[in-house]
Amino acid sequence: MHIIEIKNLKKHFGSTKAVDGISFSVEEGDLFAFLGLNGAGKSTTINILVGVLTKDSGECFVNGFSIDEISKILPSIGIVFQSSVLDKNLSVYDNLKYRAMLYGMSKKEFEENLKFFTEKLELQEIIKKQLNKLSGGQKRKVDIVRALLHKPKILILDEPTTGLDPKTRKLVWDMINKLRRETNLTVLLTTHYMEEASIADNVVIIDSGKIVAEGSPLTLKNKYASDYIKAYKYDEKIFEILDKTNIPYKKDKKSLEIKFKNTEKAKNFLVKYNTLFKDIEIVKGSMDDVFLAVTGKELKEHV
């Protein structure tokens, strides 16, 4: 079932085509990654889905409703924006309590849900603290709890783990994955952490308002990314063969990387020249390689 469906969506700001006729769908229960540089159209699309912006044309459906009926959609959505929407003058507890009131949650339901998320994200020490006394990472955890407090069907994460240390990032993803397993939570993610995109069920890459690639991470890597033989011990004769066959490679003090179009070509090369290698691995192309191939840009350099 398509829990999110977008058809030929357009949004222009003057002469700037922020979103230029994109179409995609998200299956219920999936982790869907939406990748692109700042200004590519990701946040504009999300802001249209949650009613912050109006579309110029096209159709958008969320949880069975058109975004023209946004009041029917909002109860089923939780969203973590790039910028915090919490009140810095209130405590963590009061921020979350007022959020629960907006959703009409009973005191019992609020306290039960708060206890669950407090334990999962280790908020015990900060729950009574004023928000402006917290670190950036602590505030981000509270933002994520705010989005999940009413246990929505769809969680929209706009660069959710930016600024989080690796331990906290793992805590966040462990909790989200637990909710996905137990409640069939759908997650729409924008991120510049490629390890997060790599675990998605489906990925869409957007550039200058248009979709330039989509598919599972494996499909995209097979189509757009090269594979490598990484050799740590090898016979120097290999360089004569590489130069003669024009196979690209690079060498540093620790290893030799030989680039191939796909895994099959890498394996065939190893079978043919196996006596020249002693310690090797075949490295699959990465989502960074995919992004560079389809946009001509490196994601990390522009975030």
For the chain, what are the domain ranges?
2-89+145-220, 226-283
Of 46-50, 56-60, 90-94, 170-174, the least confident: 170-174
The yes-or-no verdict on residue 230 having pLDDT over 80 is: yes
pLDDT at 147 over 60: yes
Q: Tens digits of per-residue pLDDT, 33-75?
A: 999 888 889 989 999 999 999 999 999 999 999 999 999 999 9
Domain 226-283 has CATH 3.30.70.260: yes
* C-alpha–C-alpha distance, residues 122 and 293, integer Å: 40
**Tokens 């992004």 identify what position?**
291
- In this prediction, residue 139 carries a pLDDT of 87
Q: What is the mean pLDDT of residues 194-199?
A: 85
- Alpha helices, H only, 165-278: 166-183, 194-198, 217-224, 238-245, 263-272
Cβ partners under 8 Å of residue 283, min gap 6: 227, 228, 229, 230, 257
Mean pLDDT throughout 14-25?
95
- Residue 302, pLDDT score: 45
pLDDT of 193 above 80: no
Single pTM value for the model: 0.84
Run of H or E residues at 102: helix 92-102
pLDDT band for position 301 (50/70/90)? very low
**CB neighbours (10 Å) of residue 251?**
14
pLDDT at 300 over 70: no
- Gap between the Cα atoms of 205 and 191, Å rounded: 11
**Is 93 exposed, middle or buried, given 0-12, 13-18 or 19+ CB atoms closer than 10 A?**
middle
Query: What secondary structure does DSSP assign to 133-194, as a single string?
Result: GS-HHHHHHHHHHHHHTT--SEEEEESTTTT--HHHHHHHHHHHHHHHHHH--EEEEE-S-H
Q: Are the beta carbons of 223 and 284 closer than 8 angstroms? A: no
> Could you give the 3-state DSSP secondary structure of residue 69?
helix
- The reply to whether domains 2-89+145-220 and 226-283 share a CATH topology is no
Closest by Cα among 199, 292, 287, 204 to 19: 204
Per-residue pLDDT at 240 exceeds 70? yes
Q: State the Cα–Cα distance between residues 257 and 29, nearest whole angstrom.
A: 38
- Quick one: pLDDT at residue 37? 86
Question: Is 2.70.170.10 the CATH classification of the domain at 2-89+145-220?
Answer: no
3-state secondary structure of 73: helix
How many Cβ atoms sit within 10 Å of the Cβ of residue 53?
17
In this model, does residue 303 exceed pLDDT 60? no
Mean pLDDT of 246-267: 89
User: What integer is the mean pLDDT of 231-252?
Assistant: 93
Q: Which of 51-65, 161-175, 244-258 shows the lowest mean pLDDT across its residues?
A: 161-175
* Distance in angstroms (rounded) separating the CA atoms of residues 126 and 197: 30
